[in-house]
């Protein structure tokens, strides 16, 4: 078991949790890494309760998670190291180099996401990759609400009240390019209908709705993708 390193006092729990559905951003993120870790290092940015880190540790990766002290649970999972830090202040020092860096539902919460991406670029080992899930503010649901003059404040999702930035696909591409990354691959997640209607979560209408959402996103990513899951590599000129 790796030791948790803390620089603050845990005081709360992140509202985000693991989404196990076959078309969810978490499933697609985990599928973007090799099935066997073989000791490779992963940095999980904004790791919340450590659910992604625990899954990767079980696959043989050496995982370090970073989370704001206000959102760290008391029972962070074994098998992953924890560093508490405010990412708006940049990366903690002396983390070392990583083969993979995960940014799952985190960049849109930061004041200066491009500044952090530039730091993450320098934290990648040679040949390393950054893997991120990015909400799509061009989704039809988002557009429809804005068209009607509404801008809801939700605890999670596209209208999460803690989002500081709202990007469409082109906006995300520009952000990554400006930070010195080239996007190598793209997958699109489905709307997590079962998360919104938990009583129906495992019933066939919900599974069918999520499957339809997934295939719609594959056909029209800019309007139907709920989130973009990207694999990016650093480029020489940044």
Q: What is the pLDDT of residue 118?
A: 97
Q: Is the pTM of this model over 0.85?
A: yes
> What is the C-alpha separation between 169 and 83, in angstroms, rounded?
31
Q: Give the CA count within 13 Å in the CB-facing half-sphere of 216.
A: 15
Going residue by residue through the chain, which has 238 residues, state the pLDDT in tens, using 9 for 90 and above.
Answer: 233 443 333 345 555 667 778 889 999 999 999 999 999 999 999 998 898 999 999 999 999 999 988 877 777 888 889 999 999 999 999 899 999 999 999 999 999 999 999 999 999 999 999 999 999 999 999 999 999 999 999 988 999 999 999 999 999 999 999 999 999 999 999 998 766 656 656 776 778 888 999 999 999 999 999 999 999 999 975 4
CATH number, span 25-233: 3.40.50.150
In order, the DSSP letters of 172-188 are HHHHHHHTTEEEEEEEE
Give the residue among 84, 112, 100 at the shortest CA–CA distance from 39.
Answer: 100
Q: What is the pLDDT of residue 8?
A: 36
Q: What is the pLDDT of residue 6?
A: 38
Q: What is the pLDDT of residue 199?
A: 60
């Amino acid at each position: 078991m790796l030791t948790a390193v803390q620089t603050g006092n845990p005081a709360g729990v992140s509202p985000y949790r693991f989404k196990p559905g076959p078309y969810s951003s978490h499933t697609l993120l985990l599928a973007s890494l090799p099935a066997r870790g073989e000791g490779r290092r992963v940095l999980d940015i904004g790791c919340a309760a450590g659910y992604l880190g625990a899954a990767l540790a079980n696959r043989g990766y050496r995982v370090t998670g970073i989370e704001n002290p206000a959102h760290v649970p008391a029972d962070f999972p074994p098998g992953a190291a924890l560093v508490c830090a405010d990412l708006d202040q940049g990366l903690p020092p002396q983390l070392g180099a990583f083969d993979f860096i995960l940014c799952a539902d985190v960049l849109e919460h930061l004041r200066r996401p491009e500044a952090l991406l530039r730091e993450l670029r320098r934290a990648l080992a040679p040949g390393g990759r950054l893997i991120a899930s990015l909400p799509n503010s061009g989704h039809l649901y988002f557009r429809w609400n804005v068209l009607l003059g509404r801008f809801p404040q939700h605890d999670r999702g596209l209208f999460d009240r803690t989002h500081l930035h709202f990007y469409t696909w082109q906006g995300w591409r520009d952000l990554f390019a400006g930070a010195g990354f080239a996007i190598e691959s793209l997958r699109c997640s489905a709307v997590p209908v079962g998360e919104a209607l938990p009583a129906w979560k495992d019933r066939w209408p919900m599974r069918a709705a999520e499957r339809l959402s997934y295939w719609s996103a594959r056909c029209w990513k800019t309007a139907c993708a709920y989130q973009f899951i990207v694999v990016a590599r650093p480029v020489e000129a940044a």
